[in-house]
Structure 1
């Protein structure tokens, strides 16, 4: 599965949030979509998922547009995890995860052995098997996000697009979720995640797309994207860098003034 976005422009609330964004995504890589608040990350992710049309530009899914491919076929190929997806009914966690199988069987289709196996795998991978009988409304924010991730994984799509999948999680589950997404990419699934934690993004992602003021400021491996100049220009920060064994890490440390000096 491949997505080619060309010249994407979008507006929200009378303000342009994306300007002439061009990129491509494909299976087998863990891509972090990063940038400051208001940079257009969520808007771009929704457009890439075929959930919102751009004001200008085109998005092709394996060379076809969304209308030609069809909504159900697109839903089987691309799984989308919203930042704070609503759950409108008092569903048990297992039933919520089973909704990820709808693109494969339709609203009235019966649950198959393959559906049950896919949900079981997804619950196990997200450490939510013990929550399967719980009503989603009784879960903590972090537990709920992991169940929503299980629903996304249960689709077994070629591409997984996730909006801030670790934002509500404790440190252990952040690390486990990032490792899960990285392993999914290594197994052949394309993963794109909106991330704010640059330390996690630098450690786990194969590629980072840095948005700033609605445009792509940098796109490449973490060490080429998270340069001092890019951190200053996009975020107005400086970072400390170090190594753990042979692995580098980055830690955002200082807010900078508009002149590039440490803010007082």
Structure 2
């Protein structure tokens, strides 16, 4: 398993995935710094983190970035034609797919940490430079809760997106799935519907934007844990090329 992790990490170094993991999470911090610099009022941390960073990530950046990163991970194997080599290694096939899922989950968690850290650090730096330091306690505790809830509540999305990206040698399918999931969750948010609480993308969004966030975290995590063995069973039966 250690050898598989090392191989997968080496593949990432030669791809655009690491740039995708590092650069987009800086967007909330950039928006916050610009907002502080261009407005005369003094914002609160609740406005910057609770009403800007977390909703922006949960509603849009989280599902779209997950779809993109998972798609790129699948395309690494297909474009290099390395499936024939990877699948004849002595390790069981399911370990290869589980390793990919684990790395995707870690990359997702890293994006969340960078997003909340960039928001808080950018707000602090811009506030001190302009003399408009955000009011209230610095929301590190809220940030930790956001990372934990979002990473656990998104397990089902992670599994589905990677499953599709590895199963089909067509990046359009995986990206279209991510876009469709994003549109559905936005529709649910706008309409306030209670009919789609079972939808994985909605669970992930509500894990940080709903009053019963912990319940949605448990639901997303439970669904993800059910889907993981199903994904492994299906992929190890496929003749991937």
Place the TM-score, normalised by the shorter chain, in its bin: under 0.3
Q: Using CA pairs below 8 Å that are at least 6 residues apart, which structure has the higher relative contact order?
A: 2
Higher helix fraction: Structure 1 or Structure 2? 2
TM-score, with normalisation over the residues of structure 2? 0.26
